[in-house]
Amino acid sequence: MSNLIIAGKEFKSRLIVGTSRYPDPHTMLEALEASGTDFITVSIRRLNLNAGNGQESIMNMIDRNKYSILPNTAGCYTAKEAVLTAQLAREALETNWVKLEVIGDDETLFPDVTELLKASEQLLRDGFVVLPYCNDDPVTCRKLADMGCAAVMPLGAPIGSGMGIRNPYNIQIIREIIDIPVIVDAGVGTASDAALAMELGVDGILMNTAIAGAEHPVKMARAMKLAIEAGRLAFESGQNSEKALC
C-alpha cells in the first residue's frame, strides 16, 4: 500500500487520529499505538500545554519523534478566532501545520464556509500549511484547493455522529475534481465506514470519536487500521468505485 503524502511530507499510515475524549491518557496512548498512525491531531484551545493541578500535559506524554502533530482550531467560530488560535499553536508547538476548523452551528458543528475561506486565505498568506475541515461540497473544496490548501477534509457526516459516509457521490466528485489529498474528516463510525471511504479513493481518514468513544478503544483503533488498509488496497487494485457506491 502506498504512503500518504501531504505538502511533500510522507506518512506511513493513512489514518489520522484525534487525542481527545479517551477514558484516560493510558488508553489514548495504547489506541494510538494500535491504530498504526504516525499523524495525530490536538485541539490547541483544549490543550493543557503546561502541567498543573496534578495533571501531566498531553504533549509531555506524546513521543514527537514517533508522531507528527497537527494542531486544530476546534471551538473557533470566526476567521479571526481561528487565525489567532493557529498562530498560538505555531508558537507553542513549533509547527506551521494546522487543521483549520471554523464552526458555524453549535448543534451540528457544520463549518461556516464564508469564515473558513477567509481564514484559509489569511493563514496561507502567513505561511501555514492549511488542512481545512469543510462540508462535502465539491465547489468549496475546489475553492480551497485553488487557494493553495495542502489538503481538503470534507465531512462524511456531522462531527461525532458516527453516521458514516452520508453522501458518497459528493466524496467521489471531490476526489475527481481536485489534485490535492482528500481526507474524510468526521462521521466515520465503524470499520465498514472507513473501508467504504477508502474504496471511493480518498487519501486518508481523520477520526476521534469512533475510537475514543468505543467500549474498547484499543480494539476499535486496530479495526480502523485494518479497514483503512483493506479499503485502500481495494482501491489501488483497480476496483470499480461504482461498486462502493451501491
Q: What is the pLDDT of residues 19-57, one digit of tens each?
A: 999 999 999 999 999 999 999 999 987 665 544 443 457
Kindly indicate whether the domain formed by 4-244 is annotated with CATH number 3.20.20.70.
Answer: yes
Domain-wise residue ranges, the chain: 4-244
- Average predicted confidence (pLDDT) for the chain: 90
Give residue 51's pLDDT. Answer: 46
| Phi, psi dihedral angles at 42 (to 5 degrees) | -130, 145
Name the range with the highest mean pLDDT among 19-23, 44-48, 141-145, 152-156.
141-145
Cell 461540497, residue?
137
Spatial separation of the C-alpha atoms in residues 181 and 120, rounded to whole Å: 16
How far is the C-alpha of 109 from the C-alpha of 120, rounded, in Å? 18
Coil vs helix vs strand at 143? helix
pLDDT above 80 for 243: no
- Measured CA to CA, the distance from residue 152 to residue 106 in angstroms comes to 22
3-state SS class at 145:
helix
pLDDT digits (tens, 9 = 90+) for 164-221: 788 899 999 999 999 999 999 988 889 999 999 999 999 999 999 999 999 999 999 9
Q: How far apart are CA 214 and CA 218, in angstroms?
A: 9
Catalytic-labelled residue, pool 12, 80, 99, 143: 99
Beta pairing, strands 4-6 & 9-11: antiparallel
- 66 counts as catalytic: no
What does the pLDDT read at residue 96? 96
d(C-alpha 56, C-alpha 104), whole Å: 32
The per-residue pLDDT for 53 is: 43
Placement of cell 465503524 in the chain:
190
Inter-axis angle of helices 138-147 and 113-125, nearest 10: 10
Question: Given a cut of 70, is residue 233 above it in pLDDT?
Answer: yes
Nearby residues of 149 by Cβ (< 8 Å), 6 or more positions away = 120, 124, 130, 131, 132, 180
Q: Answer for the pair 220, 178: CB distance below 8 angstroms, yes or no.
A: no
Confidence at residue 109, expressed as pLDDT on a 0 to 100 scale: 80
Arithmetic mean of pLDDT, 103-131: 94
pTM: 0.90
* Length in residues, the chain: 246
Taking Cα atoms as reference points, which of 84, 66, 65, 82 lies closest to residue 74?
Answer: 82
